[in-house]
Structure 1
């Protein structure tokens, strides 16, 4: 398989965008602007998950194999079969005429009857011969390659031109000159359903793919109730292609690296290779991801430098940001401050706790309005992996102070206030008790506060542990980043996932690595809870985590499965599975539907993928050579003489064929045989459709 992956590489499949004629350019012009009518007209047939549908054309596996036959070999075989067809025709005709004459069927027939029988015999023999040798000669492939319109222009016409005029081949002409370019009216639905004025106004605009998808989404909403139709028309007449734009007023990203098809929400990542291990239907096709597969979440494992961020995280982030501008998604991207996950102007909210000039902070309790649940999530984020056994006691300790504080002051405690509450400082506890007594709620929380006070006298008080962990967030560099009293930065809460927002969380991994770990676990945990509890799930909620080794715990892994039915999904990148606690590795593999492995992983990492992908049945041929001992004295004497003269022993060959189960990808293949710039990825769609592991070229 190493040879298949490294040497049997097929050319990258490219999609040529057809160019409409000049008078068919209402959405774009000769100045190089986006050509909307041509883009809309590109065929996008239904395809299996992972196939880039823009311009995709299904090919029969048999035809695909025949297309690989060299032209010279194809024509030589066709010529031999043509000769065999002619010879069979003459021989068959002679034999049939002789048999008919031998049976006496020609006796007493008129010349007209004799000629009729002769014609029938000719038709029978030529039909039989052609039927037999048509397939063996691969004449269908010859006709497709040379006699069709495209084959004629590509192979025959240049040859005839040179033969007649003695001139070289003509220079390549634009696609629009070679064949009629597809064209579609992008605003046909509006034009024919009572919004003619809006359609005519949009014809005069230079709309892009983001504009088109966004306006079509607004049109679908307007179609749901006729009352909204006048409002739709008024908005389009007033703002043109900028109608219904994103709150940021952005209509596109400043820079794009990947190829996108927002009409079906796909991003092209690479090309599925034409190798034996890949299914026939996916070979030499574009490999793409979209919300239908990201909704089952994707786990990607590979060492640093293998392209996880540049070839997976950034293109997916770019796609989700574009979908957000089109009003179909929201995205949260978590990674180190220096990770290549797009410039800041890609995002509406940039949370950078370690940068003093950052505008936005993070709401530590932002995933839920329930104080007990918010405290439990914060406790899980604060607790290190080695102390996971004390998780329940730390949750209880935090709930015993967060709930009373929220009731007394109508807000959650800040980091410094929370540290004081957990430590039992009188300057904070006494005002809290007085506030609860004044509200008449002291009886509700009195037992919790008394129990918290008794715990503070014990050596194993979990509150002391939590206070020490919170000290990592109570640093001058994070001043105002987690304020809850309105005096710090604008707090971002995960409850905002109901809106089309682009959020970037920059973790201070270099200056405060342990604080970055706490924040990544907190953000991911809040996202999982918020995405699964949204009331409006029309937007796809996407999460991209550049390094998820510190961001996962048992609750988060369980929450990944709940996101499948909530129109949400996560892309999790890991350097190695060994960075995770052993208790999380197997549950994580079961929680995600898509798995991706990059070159250079360790064999023990490859074992997880190999076992998850299982086995398949292969047709195996085994050839065995054994010394020839058959025959009598003469044959044995001949073999002795042959061995004396040539030094070789006569052998018999035994061929055995059988169906056996083999691993789709062995740990050794994944660890040592993957070429650079490639990856092996399996997909599962939200609908349940699965795609076996594919070898994909991610370069370019």
Structure 2
């Protein structure tokens, strides 16, 4: 028996549609669906949380940094300059106009008055246009003349003046602005499903429900024959229509900010520092499938927040998208890793726990025995023996292929171990089964070659048998059975369904077995995600500790997933945990890279080189003693030095454009504050975002 998952609500279509609006949370007020749907989501560069995002003019942002005192003083001086310019300009122009009028043999009083009015208008317009800009009156108006500026700057001052209170913290007043409201079911009302829209008006609909129902409506719109079926389903089940096969409509313990309309999860806030591009400063930082589709590598020591501030929100987002019918997710980590409770998942695979319901298909339900054997051999070999990978693949193929031909299934762990170690009774049973199936002639040469290798010092079969012994333990009883007698095995070919899968690795009790299983599951996911025929669902993989999960074939497969609507989030404590031959290829295979505080300088060197350099405008100030002048000036300088202790100096300023590292290894290793990270992004479309300093707290 194999678990393939179940389809959700029929055909799939892709849905298309920073101050976050309310989200459905336990013990919170009811979810305001109309306001959430109507919230502005303007187009924004990759990595910006779009809900409530407002484009900021860089010039206006610089003006906002000017303190209030200098701002008002400059504005007042420009008013004086405006008035002076007006009077002086008017006098000069009137004198010139009078001279010209007399030159043309005089004019009437009406003409003189008209010229005077024209001169006044020109003078005041030019003076106001010039000094409005230099006096930054636009910023003055924004701070003190608008409603928001009045509440922020003027009202607190007046309140303190009236009540004679000190300058303590002022409680913010409630904003009278009402968020925009839209009809969430307008498309159904005008599209022939007004009865369904009326039913949904009376239901408590969350963001997951809304996205799921909208996807079903878009599927129904592909052919109007399906509209009555849509209405029937909604009338019968209300907000639970087209729900996930598990029946779940929400996640318990949900904490991150999500915008399922654009499939974003907010992780933090981009900091207002010179290293960050002006467009990103103070904006919300978010991830979505267009970024995860290029895969993300995060490196940082234990305790820096990789799991709590990156892996768990990413898993939470993918699980919510699975409930909405837009994604599937596989989360891999130790049994005690904080990747959400078991209730978040449809399938929980825990090989080291006797109470686990599901097992794992070691072959990933691959129909090609040679491919299945090669993938299993790569997972079984330790890193230090990768040079023997080809011979190990051949040895495993020589027994897996004949067994599959004889029995129509793949061998279990114990059967495979017996074939590799050369147990006579197991081999004879296989030969009899092949003869009965009429396939002995096809596979006899493979079996003979396996017999010739047996007993040699470099026999890869003995090595593989020893590695399989780590999985043939009582703790794993029934977890890897292929004959239907054990737990139902999960197969990675189920990635075309909106499934949520959690793999709990026994890192404490069986660390080496956990390493093999991690490498096996990740390799199966990479192959299955790229081989899917239906790629409408985003397939997401989250690995809490990927140090043992990566090999050369998996790293190559990460690049193929970009075009398969799939991606991975890989967490590492240090790059030194990986074999040296994998470090550089891994950096080239992933599009998003993330650094947490406390990494070693040699880890920071990889990121620094990957992020490269940029041109900055550098100013160098040089001071030199002042020596020119006659005897009197030199005597004066000597007296000044005797009285004040300072030497008169000249100042020389040199400006030039130079190339500097965006982030140096030393900065990454020692200058990152706690709770922050530096992350660079690449979208599936190829659009790149330079490294950003992001605050992940809150």
TM-score, scaled relative to structure 1: 0.93
The alignment partner of 2:20 has SS state of coil
- The counterpart of 1:98, out of the listed 95, 98, 122, is 95
CA distance, structure 1, for counterparts of residue 641 and residue 587 of structure 2 = 59
Assess if the C-alpha contact under 8 Å between 1:17 and 1:42 holds in 2: no
How has the CA–CA distance of structure 1 residues 317 and 633 changed in structure 2, closer, same or farther, with 3 Å as cutoff?
A: same
Matches within 5 A, 1:82-231: 82-103=79-100, 105=102, 108-156=106-154, 175=175, 178-231=176-229
CA distance, structure 2, for counterparts of residue 164 and residue 671 of structure 1 = 52
CA distance, structure 2, for counterparts of residue 414 and residue 526 of structure 1 = 17
The alignment partner of 2:594 has SS state of strand
| Residue correspondences, number | 677
**CA deviation map 1:96-136 (0-9, x unaligned):** 22333455548622222222122122112211211211111
Aligned to 2:4: none
How has the CA–CA distance of structure 1 residues 33 and 642 changed in structure 2, closer, same or farther, with 3 Å as cutoff?
A: closer
Aligned to 2:626: 628
Aligned to 2:3: none
Aligned to 2:70: 73
Structure 1, unaligned stretches of length 5 or more?
1-12, 19-26
How has the CA–CA distance of structure 1 residues 647 and 161 changed in structure 2, closer, same or farther, with 3 Å as cutoff?
A: closer
Give, in angstroms, the shift of residue 625 of structure 1. Answer: 1.2
How has the CA–CA distance of structure 1 residues 122 and 166 changed in structure 2, closer, same or farther, with 3 Å as cutoff?
A: farther
Assess if the C-alpha contact under 8 Å between 1:677 and 1:697 holds in 2: yes
CA distance, structure 1, for counterparts of residue 22 and residue 439 of structure 2 = 68
CA distance, structure 1, for counterparts of residue 566 and residue 558 of structure 2 = 9
How has the CA–CA distance of structure 1 residues 512 and 31 changed in structure 2, closer, same or farther, with 3 Å as cutoff?
A: closer
CA distance, structure 2, for counterparts of residue 193 and residue 144 of structure 1 = 44
How has the CA–CA distance of structure 1 residues 49 and 170 changed in structure 2, closer, same or farther, with 3 Å as cutoff?
A: closer
Aligned to 1:281: 279
Give, in angstroms, the shift of residue 166 of structure 1. Answer: 11
Structure 2, unaligned stretches of length 5 or more?
1-17
Aligned to 1:590: 588
Aligned to 1:698: 696
Aligned to 2:54: 57
Aligned to 2:556: 558
**CA deviation map 1:466-524 (0-9, x unaligned):** 00000000000000000001011110010100100000000000000000000000000
Assess if the C-alpha contact under 8 Å between 2:333 and 2:503 holds in 1: yes
Give, in angstroms, the shift of residue 652 of structure 1. Answer: 1.5
Assess if the C-alpha contact under 8 Å between 1:329 and 1:539 holds in 2: yes
Aligned to 1:416: 414
1:544 aligns with 2:549: no
CA distance, structure 2, for counterparts of residue 173 and residue 272 of structure 1 = 26
The alignment partner of 1:251 has SS state of coil
The alignment partner of 1:215 has SS state of helix
CA distance, structure 2, for counterparts of residue 467 and residue 172 of structure 1 = 69
Aligned to 1:8: none
Give, in angstroms, the shift of residue 224 of structure 1. Answer: 1.2
Extract structure 1 runs of 4+ deviating beyond 6 A: 157-173
Aligned to 1:246: 244
CA distance, structure 2, for counterparts of residue 387 and residue 270 of structure 1 = 42
CA distance, structure 2, for counterparts of residue 640 and residue 173 of structure 1 = 61
CA distance, structure 2, for counterparts of residue 102 and residue 167 of structure 1 = 63
Moved more, 631-640 or 378-387: 631-640
CA distance, structure 1, for counterparts of residue 486 and residue 60 of structure 2 = 66
Give, in angstroms, the shift of residue 79 of structure 1. Answer: 1.3
Aligned to 2:9: none
CA distance, structure 1, for counterparts of residue 58 and residue 271 of structure 2 = 14
1:15 aligns with 2:20: yes
Matches within 5 A, 1:175-574: 175=175, 178-366=176-364, 368-574=366-572
Assess if the C-alpha contact under 8 Å between 2:369 and 2:397 holds in 1: yes
- The counterpart of 1:656, out of the listed 631, 654, 657, is 654
How has the CA–CA distance of structure 1 residues 161 and 652 changed in structure 2, closer, same or farther, with 3 Å as cutoff?
A: closer
Moved more, 661-670 or 61-70: 61-70
CA distance, structure 1, for counterparts of residue 147 and residue 335 of structure 2 = 55
CA distance, structure 1, for counterparts of residue 627 and residue 142 of structure 2 = 52
